[in-house]
Amino acid sequence: MSTDSTSLNLKKTVEQAEDFLPLLGTDFVELYVGNAKQAAYYYQQAWGFQPVAYAGLETGRKDSVSYVLQQDKIRLVLTSPLQPGGEINEHVNKHGDGVKVVALWVDDARKSYDETTNRGAESYVEPYVMEDEHGKVVISGIHTYGETVHLFVERSAYNGPFLPGYKKYEPRFQVEPTGLKFIDHMVGNVGWNEMNKWCEFYAKVMGFAQLVSFDDKDISTEYTALMSKVMSNGNGRIKFPINEPAEGKKKSQIEEYIDFYNGAGVQHIAVATDNIIDTVTKLRDRGVEFLYVPEVYYDTVLDRVGEIDEDLEPLKELGVLIDRDDEGYLLQIFTKPVLDRPTMFFEIIQRKGAQSFGKGNFKALFEAIEREQESRGTLQ
């Protein structure tokens, strides 16, 4: 169940990616939020991100404020408006808190802009230079699904805390990190019948290749369904699965997202750890809430995935899911939405060889839930 032909083809398909940009990694993820100060405290206290930079009234910015938080290679920017009107207010009003910018680290932001806009990308911002006493950064940007944008960040000539215009910010309050290392993948939810359009966008405009495809037979229960394709850049550092809703007896979770987000947007950010038991224990102790996994999932999981290094008991206690492909196995868990609207959530993932996305868990988890429903007489 967990092994499929897709992982066999993984290396080959990534080689098909053109990588004309190329992308060196995720530079930062910026969320537009209603109250950046309090969101920053949440990501610091609950998630173990440490504030590193700040821009606002004190740094000469008049209309908005941004906190930059970092944990290992993951950089989050939380931005709120200080005045009525404008793009940030409109974004928050329409979508609630959500990801506006997925910034990608490149060697040459001008070339990245030219390559992508020449291939049909819609311009968000033309290349421009930002400078301060720490050096200079070149930034450009294009639109992607919904109101989400990609910025290309060229920072080889810069050694400041984040970007020009930001000052170093080191609050007295420090927290212990939770072991989050880097962004493994970021998933976009798009509307009905739009998955292929956006996969083609990443293939044509960004030179990505398709790694995996899941149809509604893979990701469905008795009631709900979705479809998903995973797009990757050539070096595999940037992976963007794209989901669309599929017809079921009841509303797809993707449709629910689209309803509350008012359009396409980032559904989840998967962050990697090399000790998921330790990371999830810390996160849970600090108040992060995870999806409930029925205990029956663990009755048969080792029959499916075989031997693993970890004891099953702590995984079961935390609700961590396990899956295997031909290259190894992975451990993963999903948070509940981290906002009031049922929109964005996080995945914590630890890869032990596996390069896939937990396909075996889609069915196993849903089947486990359905067995629970059956025992309650609610699977009707």
Annotated binding residues for Fe cation: 185, 268, 347
Least spacing, CB of residue 358 vs Fe ion, in Å: 7
Looking at beta carbons only, is 323 or 347 nearer to Fe ion? 347
Looking at beta carbons only, is 27 or 347 nearer to Fe ion? 347
- 353 φ, ψ to 5°? 95, -40
Looking at beta carbons only, is 270 or 315 nearer to Fe ion? 270
**Binders of Fe ion among 325-364, rule CB under 5 A?**
347
Looking at beta carbons only, is 154 or 347 nearer to Fe ion? 347
**Binders of Fe ion among 158-177, rule CB under 5 A?**
none
The partner residues of 346 in beta bridges, in order of sequence, read: 269
Least spacing, CB of residue 333 vs Fe ion, in Å: 11
Q: Nearest-CA neighbor of 270 among 214, 344, 366? A: 344
Strand arrangement, sheet containing 167-168: 123-132, 135-143, 149-154, 98-106, 23-32, 74-81, 64-71, 50-55, 167-168
Looking at beta carbons only, is 92 or 269 nearer to Fe ion? 269
Distance CA 92, CA 250 (A): 28
**Binders of Fe ion among 67-106, rule CB under 5 A?**
none
Q: For residue 334, what are its two tokens?
A: 């999903």
The HSE-up count of residue 212 (CA atoms within 13 Å, CB side) is 25
Least spacing, CB of residue 293 vs Fe ion, in Å: 15
Least spacing, CB of residue 242 vs Fe ion, in Å: 12
Identity of the residue numbered 4? D
User: How big is the site for Fe ion, counted in residues (CB under 5 A)?
Assistant: 2
From residue 29, give the alpha-carbon distance in Å to each of 77, 108, 202, 349. Answer: 6, 19, 18, 18
CB 33 within 8 A of CB 79: yes
Looking at beta carbons only, is 113 or 214 nearer to Fe ion? 214
Q: For residue 56, what are its two tokens?
A: 């606002």
List residues forming the annotated binding site: 185, 268, 347
**Binders of Fe ion among 232-271, rule CB under 5 A?**
270
The HSE-up count of residue 140 (CA atoms within 13 Å, CB side) is 20
CB 113 within 8 A of CB 152: yes
- Look up tokens 């810069």; give the residue: 158
Least spacing, CB of residue 164 vs Fe ion, in Å: 33
CB 149 within 8 A of CB 101: yes
Task: Note the residues at the interface with Fe ion (CB under 5 A).
Answer: 270, 347
